[in-house]
């Protein structure tokens, strides 16, 4: 799948939309109470090249695309303020989930970004995608999230929503493995 460029009208509407949660940036440290918490990490390789390749892929929305989601974004890379609509499902059963990049990380051994949910997303919360280059030359990929249902459908889905989230997270984590 390829990244699709978002029409200006959609970009402007989503750029002005409020986030659906107040704990913006909380995936950086202690996750807020009242939400389901998720933190998963996998080893994805070794060496500077593995780190460089993984961070480029994370920034270019490849984690979401390789996981089987459609991505329509306002920018080709995840930069602060960029908005995206991720699509999960097929055809008329595709669910569009809008989000906005709330921060990026650009350190010498740690890079990635987090996005927060916008109105129309079935969940309320934040998800971070961080690649780290460790002192032992290993490279890991960590996904950290907090969320809770925000729509009637998501609330009715109950445990099925967590199953879908775990399935999607597993696909995200596999997207950067060689």
The DSSP secondary-structure symbol of 150 reads -
Contact 10, 109 (CB under 8 A): no
Contact 139, 46 (CB under 8 A): yes
Domains of the chain, by residue range, sit at: 3-24+33-174
Six token digits for residue 81: 């303020």
For residues 106-123, give the mean pLDDT. Answer: 96
- 69 vs 92: CA distance, rounded Å: 14
The pLDDT value recorded for residue 78 is 98
Q: Give pTM, 2 decimals.
A: 0.93
β-bridge partners, 35: none
The DSSP secondary-structure symbol of 54 reads H
Six token digits for residue 104: 């990026």
**CATH level 3 topology of 3-24+33-174:** Alpha-D-Glucose-1,6-Bisphosphate; Chain A, domain 4 (3.30.530)
Q: What is the pLDDT of residues 1-60, one digit of tens each?
A: 789 999 999 999 999 999 999 999 999 999 999 999 999 999 999 999 999 999 999 999
**pLDDT > 90: what percent of the chain?**
79
- 114 vs 118: CA distance, rounded Å: 13
Q: How many helices (H) and strands (E) does the chain have?
A: 5, 8
Contacts of 164 (CB under 8 A, 6+ apart): 88, 157
């Amino acid at each position: 799948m390829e990244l699709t460029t978002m029409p200006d009208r959609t970009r402007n509407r989503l750029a002005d939309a409020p986030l659906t949660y107040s704990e913006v940036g909380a995936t950086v440290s202690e996750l807020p109470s009242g939400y389901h918490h998720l933190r998963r990490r996998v080893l994805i390789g070794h060496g500077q090249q593995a780190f460089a390749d993984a961070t480029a892929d994370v920034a270019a929305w490849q984690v979401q695309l390789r996981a089987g989601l459609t991505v329509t974004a306002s920018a080709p890379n995840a930069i602060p303020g960029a908005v995206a609509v991720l699509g999960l499902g097929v055809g008329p059963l595709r669910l569009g989930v809008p989000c906005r990049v709330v921060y990026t990380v650009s350190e010498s051994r740690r890079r990635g970004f987090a996005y927060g949910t916008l109105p129309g997303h079935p969940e309320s919360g934040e998800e971070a995608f961080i690649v780290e280059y460790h002192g032992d030359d290993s490279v890991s990929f960590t996904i950290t999230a907090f969320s809770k249902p925000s729509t009637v459908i998501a609330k009715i889905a109950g445990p099925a929503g967590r199953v879908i989230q775990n399935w999607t997270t597993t696909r995200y984590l596999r997207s950067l493995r060689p």
